[in-house]
Chains A and B, each alone.
Chain A
Amino acid sequence: MAINETQRPDIDRIPVSLTVNGRTVTDNVPPELTLLDFLRDWLGLKGAKRSCDLQVCGACTVLVNGRAVSSCTFLAFEARNAEVTTIEGLAQNGELHPLQQSFIDNAAFQCGFCTPGMILAAKSLLDQNHHPNEEEIRAYMKGNICRCTGYKKIVEAIVAAANGD
Chain B
Amino acid sequence: MLRPFKLHEPTSVDDAVSLLGRFGEEAKVYCGGTELLLAMKEGLLRYNHLVNIKTIPGLDEVGYDQGSGMLSIGATVTHTALEHSPQIQSHFPMIAEAEGNVANVRVRNVGTIGGNLCFSEPHSDPGAFLLLFDTQVEIQGPGGQRTIPLAELTLGPFETCLEDDEVLTRILVPQFPQGMTGAYLKFGYHARPTLGVGVSVRVEPTTSDGEHIERAVVTEVRVAVGSAGPKAVRVAEAEQLLMGKTVAELLPGSNGGESSNMNEASRLAGRAADAMDDIHGSGEYKEHMIGVFLKRAFAKAVNTRQPTVQSPLS
Contact = CB atoms under 8 A, between A and B. Distances in A.
B110 A56 contact: no
B263 to A, nearest CB: 34
B45 to A, nearest CB: 13
A66 to B, nearest CB: 10
A75 B4 CA distance: 12
Interface in B26-42: 33-34, 37-38, 41
Contact of A58 (B46, B104, B110): B104
A10 interface: no
A74 B4 CA distance: 15
A77 B55 CA distance: 12
Contacts of B38: 54-55, 73
Interface in B83-123: 103-107, 109-110
A55 B7 contact: no
Contact of A31 (B5, B103, B106): B5
Interface stretch (A1-9, A38-46, A89-97, A100-108): A1-9
B266 interface: no
B4 A143 contact: no
A67 B110 CA distance: 9
A70 interface: yes
Contact of B33 (A2, A58, A75): A75
Contact of B7 (A2, A31, A61, A68): A31
Given A55-B38, A75-B33, A3 B5 contact: yes
19 contacts: A1-B48, A5-B4, A8-B4, A12-B4, A31-B7, A32-B3, A55-B104, A56-B191, A58-B106, A61-B106, A67-B109, A68-B109, A70-B110, A73-B33, A77-B7, A121-B105, A140-B105, A143-B104, A143-B191
Interface string B1-24: 011111100000000000000000
A20 interface: no
Nearest to B100: A139
Contacts of A77: 7
B311 interface: yes
Interface residues of B, number: 25
Contact of A70 (B5, B80, B106, B314): B106
A30 interface: yes
Contacts of A12: 4, 6-7
A130 interface: no
Interface in A106-146: 121, 124, 139-140, 142-144
B62 interface: no
Select the residue from B5, B41, B105 with max chain A CB neighbours within 10 A.
B105
Contacts of A2: 3-4, 46, 48
A3 B48 contact: yes
Given A2-B46, A2-B48, A55-B34, A69 B106 contact: yes
A4 B5 CA distance: 9
A4 B6 CA distance: 11
Given A31-B50, A143-B103, A53 B6 contact: no
Given A55-B34, A67-B80, A32 B105 contact: no
Contacts of A139: 311
**5 tightest A-B CB contacts, nearest first:** A143-B104, A31-B7, A32-B2, A3-B4, A70-B106
B78 to A, nearest CB: 9
A10 to B, nearest CB: 12
A30 B4 contact: yes
